[in-house]
Structure 1
Amino acid sequence: MPLSAPETGPTTPFSPPTPSSLPIVHSAERFYLNRVYCVGRNYADHARELGNDPDREPPFFFAKPADAVYAVDEGVDAQNVAPNTVPYPPETDDLHFEMELVVAIGVGGADIASADALTHVFGYGAGVDLTRRDLQDTAKALRRPWDLSKGFDFSGPCTSIAPVAVIGHPDRARIWLDVDGEKRQKGDLADQIWPVSDVIAALSRFVTLRPGDLIFTGTPAGVGRIVPGSTVVAGIDGVGDLAFRVISPRQE
């Protein structure tokens, strides 16, 4: 006689956290996040401004926690009003912005061929990889991990996810970021050293990609500092726009 299933499941000493998710454009559904990977130095000009040689380095990856990513595209208007706020993180005096195309994986897989990689994409977003640059520089100098320079709370503001069925696969589009009305980053997705298909193929050799994974695909030149009071407005043509204001952690 088979054993019956238990009447109740295992208990937990605390309430489970709500899974992180992003809105999906033109849908009531949400894109629930699994893992978040980021590509380093994927635009030649940005690699050079950090003192690296883009012609000699294959893509490399680091990670952010999924709950660092959150939507900030609601409310962007023609006057560049940014109703969303991002608290300035502790333990840094040099917070930097890095504007990036974000890839949302809808079909998992390992050892994916570059020619097949785009069939694994659900959609795209536009996100900012916020970086505690002083912590990162210290970690590099001491040959220590970058984790706390990249993976802190509120370090991944992002737009809603635009499905491939709506926008296709953007490979040539203006990517830009303004701070307080001044153009700070301006490039084109065509300037990426490693296009999305190659990025997916390379990452899938190291991990089995799963639905819900996000990949931040690197930033063009022009990264720089923001401070409490800074207003950031940014976007990728045909993908999405976002805006936020940096506030002191003591503000509500």
Structure 2
Amino acid sequence: MRIARVSKAGRIGLAAKVDGEIRVVWDSELADLDAKIAEGSLAAAGKAAADGEVVDEALLNFLPPVTRPSKIVCMGLNYRDHAEESGFDIPDFPVLFGRFPSSLMGHGAPIILPKISRQLDWEAELAVVLSKGGKNISEADALDHVAGYSVFNDASLRDYQMRTPQWTAGKNFDDTGAFGPWLVTPDEVPAGASGLKIECRVNGNVMQSSNTGNLIFTVANTIHLLSTFMTLEPGDVLVMGTPGGVGVARDPQVWMKAGDICEVEIEGIGLLSNRVVAE
């Protein structure tokens, strides 16, 4: 099942991709995937959307798959090549930081280049949305807690990120957390969304190219480890880290600028595309 929250002419609906067509039911309650996940009715919502009207994708605005997660837990340095290019040791425990829902935006929406920084960088990432929570979840059971997978661009303002030892400021500018367009259920991809090509392109130029099989901490391992010290909840989002190739690690450094098109694509999950717009 592949579903997305969409809007058109002020209406909000739930879309499903069925045999190459996009079908939509215009019902904001049905499209409240935060609530559907919490209720355990995500599958029923997707089935309803699959019976909706056929709509041209070009007419739709895509919204983030969820907007009210209790937690957005992001992984740092979770690909060996990214840790090495960043000058850090390979972690033996996940490097974690938080994003806030206020930073999220959807496929096709602009990434905002703020007036106060010009060091806007890309980060192609796999996103995991949890279907159910828990504490002390075993690694063997962890994937049973996944509602679906999506694509994330953890766009970062590097000067603000590196201003202090923790990264919160540079990771939470408004309209920098691009997320979507599709939420893809686990039956559509390999276990843990492993073994999928992940790529970032800026203006068509490949900047990052790797495979989700290269994650240091897998999806199952991450869910298990997080649950040893925090209670996970339905709708929580895990953002699994980025591979090597970020702009800050290049010589000379490369930053996104107004007018750039940044695409993040994960095999079998989808293509997330956003234009950079100056504040």
User: What TM-score do the two structures reach when normalised by structure 2?
Assistant: 0.72
Which residue in 2 is equivalent to 1:232? Answer: 262
Structure showing greater Rg: 1
Give, in whole Å, the separation in 1 of the partners of 2:179 and 2:133.
22
Give the C-alpha shift of residue 151 in structure 1: 1.5
> Which one of the candidate residues 55, 62, 72 is aligned to 1:36?
72
- Which amino acid in 2 is paired with 1:37? V
> Which one of the candidate residues 39, 47, 69 is aligned to 2:104?
69
Give, in whole Å, the separation in 2 of the partners of 1:89 and 1:175.
27
1:45 aligns to 2:108 (yes or no): no
- Which amino acid in 1 is paired with 2:103? A
DSSP-derived class of the 1:234 partner: strand
- Which amino acid in 1 is paired with 2:211? D
Which residue in 2 is equivalent to 1:180? Answer: 203
- Which amino acid in 2 is paired with 1:238? G
- Which amino acid in 1 is paired with 2:163? T
Q: 1:188 to 1:134 in 2, by over 3 A?
A: same
**Runs of 5+ consecutive residues of structure 2 not aligned to the other structure:** 1-11, 18-23, 26-30, 35-67, 248-254
Superposed CA offset, 1:37-92 (max 9, x none): 101110000000000111x53112111111322320xxxxxxxxxx5322212422
Superposed CA offset, 1:137-188 (max 9, x none): 2213xxxx32111112112101121122444532101000100111000000
- Which amino acid in 1 is paired with 2:267? D
Which residue in 2 is equivalent to 1:155? Answer: 176
Give, in whole Å, the separation in 2 of the partners of 1:24 and 1:106.
19
Which residue in 1 is equivalent to 2:251? Answer: none
- Which amino acid in 2 is paired with 1:95? L
DSSP-derived class of the 1:138 partner: coil
Choose between structure 1 and 2: higher helix proportion: 2
> Which one of the candidate residues 197, 219, 229 is aligned to 1:196?
219
DSSP-derived class of the 1:190 partner: helix
Give the C-alpha shift of residue 240 in structure 1: 1.0
Superposed CA offset, 1:176-214 (max 9, x none): 010011100000001111110011111112211101110
Percent identity of paired positions between Structure 1 and Structure 2: 31
Q: 1:131 to 1:25 in 2, by over 3 A?
A: farther
**Higher normalized contact order (CA 8 Å, seq sep 6+, divided by chain length):** 1
| Superposition CA RMSD, Å | 2.0
> Which one of the candidate residues 145, 151, 167 is aligned to 1:120?
145
Give the C-alpha shift of residue 22 in structure 1: 11
Assess if the C-alpha contact under 8 Å between 2:123 and 2:153 holds in 1.
yes
Assess if the C-alpha contact under 8 Å between 1:25 and 1:163 holds in 2.
no
1:109 aligns to 2:134 (yes or no): yes
Q: 1:138 to 1:67 in 2, by over 3 A?
A: closer
Assess if the C-alpha contact under 8 Å between 1:24 and 1:31 holds in 2.
no
Identify which range, 161-170 or 93-102, moves more after superposition.
161-170
Which residue in 1 is equivalent to 2:61? Answer: none
- Which amino acid in 2 is paired with 1:115? A
Give the C-alpha shift of residue 25 in structure 1: 4.6
Assess if the C-alpha contact under 8 Å between 2:128 and 2:146 holds in 1.
yes
Assess if the C-alpha contact under 8 Å between 2:121 and 2:246 holds in 1.
yes
DSSP-derived class of the 1:202 partner: helix
Which residue in 2 is equivalent to 1:212? Answer: 235
Give, in whole Å, the separation in 2 of the partners of 1:137 and 1:22.
39
Q: 1:23 to 1:65 in 2, by over 3 A?
A: farther
Assess if the C-alpha contact under 8 Å between 1:49 and 1:221 holds in 2.
yes
The alignment covers a number of residue pairs equal to 214
Superposed CA offset, 1:106-140 (max 9, x none): 11111111111000000000110011111122213
DSSP-derived class of the 2:208 partner: strand
DSSP-derived class of the 2:117 partner: coil
Assess if the C-alpha contact under 8 Å between 1:112 and 1:200 holds in 2.
yes
User: What TM-score do the two structures reach when normalised by structure 1?
Assistant: 0.79
> Which one of the candidate residues 79, 89, 111 is aligned to 1:86?
111
